[in-house]
Amino acid sequence: MADWAGMPHDLLVLIANRVKVIEDFIAFNCVCNSWRTASTKDNFDVLSAQLPLLMLPDDHENNYYREFYSLSKGKVSRKLYLPEAKGRECFPSHQVGWLLTQSFDGENVNLLNPFSRTQIRLPNQFALIDEDEELIEQEEYNYIRNAILSANPSFTSDYVLVIAYNTDVNHLAFWRPGDINWNKFRIGHRVGGVSDMIYFKGQFYLVTWSGALGIIDFQGPNSVPESNVIYLNDDKKLFRQHSTQFYLVDVNDALLLVTRFGRRRSNASRALETVKFELYELDVVKGNMKELNNLGDSTIFVGCNGATSIDSTKFTGVIKPNHIYFTDDWFDQNYHLECGGGKDMGCYNLEDGNIESFYPELSLSHICPPTWVIPSL
């Protein structure tokens, strides 16, 4: 039998350097001590493209662990010890590897890298309440619904986190490393609640339920945000329709609006199911919306707290080009369901409108339904 543990260190380092998929790199690291020594973070190309993993809800029997489903392997590929995520809602922050986690009681809000278990403590939700405001329904009033980072905390401390909370209205706040509390701000007047946000070409963009596009700019490390609002030319009246979700996504350096349409599963249920998507390229100066019918080789992943795009040619045979992979993001409706959300997931073909399944099981949760996470070390 070959002595794999006795392979020369230099050879193991060369092999580790050629591993581009982080799931495989972690598996390489777990083989034995000599392989672990060769597969340090410095020997992994952190800039290599990674396929999102589907983070599943708590295991109710042992909810200190979270499982991650791999599209490339067609099975759960990782089970990580994550007490930091126990009983907490988790959603992506648009920076590779980082999630925002929040406890339902509002006491604990953190940034978390589930793969390194690095955690950054943030001000809690109570810091978002004005002294002169009477709180009636705490969890509904200031619950954070969107969180976007300007840069990756794994590589720099020079970043800004912008959040939207109580998203029925225009409530925004930002935080920088070193800040004690949230810094609250608003943009425009009567622009409506925030549907989604993105950090795009050095600025924060948000889209509201009323069809306003907000642009937020931080000029320097200690600057206050400057903002501008334009109203999208919504000829199709997308923002007046019921059972819709709106996402912003960067596809090949163009800012796209992804519109998701749902319908009730039955007259007796609040549960919604996705029936179609529409895409629009946005003119951020004039507010024009150009409908797109084809993504080419790009693939979009949408879910809680936004969307991301992937070049499918880097994962040939694993993900489908010109498709949208979606998770259950009907938060308001799912909150009232007996078992929570997680049922409305699938893969939407932009060419013919067909929807296929990509996950063979059913994972439901009130607190944290399945969500996409791009892995990192």
Query: Using an 8 Å Cβ cutoff, are 41 and 30 in contact?
Result: no
Check whether 109 has a pLDDT greater than 90. yes
Predicted local distance difference test score (pLDDT) of residue 2: 57
Predicted local distance difference test score (pLDDT) of residue 298: 97
pLDDT band at residue 141, thresholds of 50, 70 and 90?
Answer: very low
What is the rounded distance in angstroms from the CA atom of residue 135 to the CA atom of residue 115? Answer: 36
Predicted local distance difference test score (pLDDT) of residue 60: 67
What is the rounded distance in angstroms from the CA atom of residue 264 to the CA atom of residue 157? Answer: 44
Predicted local distance difference test score (pLDDT) of residue 135: 45
Of residues 115 and 346, which shows the higher confidence score?
346
What single DSSP character describes residue 193?
-
> How does pLDDT run across 37-72, given as a tens digit for each residue?
887 877 777 777 889 999 999 866 667 899 999 999
Predicted local distance difference test score (pLDDT) of residue 105: 82
Check whether 231 has a pLDDT greater than 80. yes
What is the rounded distance in angstroms from the CA atom of residue 125 to the CA atom of residue 119? Answer: 17
Check whether 131 has a pLDDT greater than 60. no
Check whether 132 has a pLDDT greater than 50. no
What is the rounded distance in angstroms from the CA atom of residue 144 to the CA atom of residue 166? Answer: 7
What is the rounded distance in angstroms from the CA atom of residue 220 to the CA atom of residue 198? Answer: 19
Predicted local distance difference test score (pLDDT) of residue 27: 78
Beta bridge partner(s), residue 184:
173
What is the rounded distance in angstroms from the CA atom of residue 329 to the CA atom of residue 241? Answer: 17
Predicted local distance difference test score (pLDDT) of residue 54: 96
> How does pLDDT run across 263-280, given as a tens digit for each residue?
988 766 778 999 999 999
Taking all residues of the chain, what is their mean pLDDT, rounded to a whole number?
A: 88
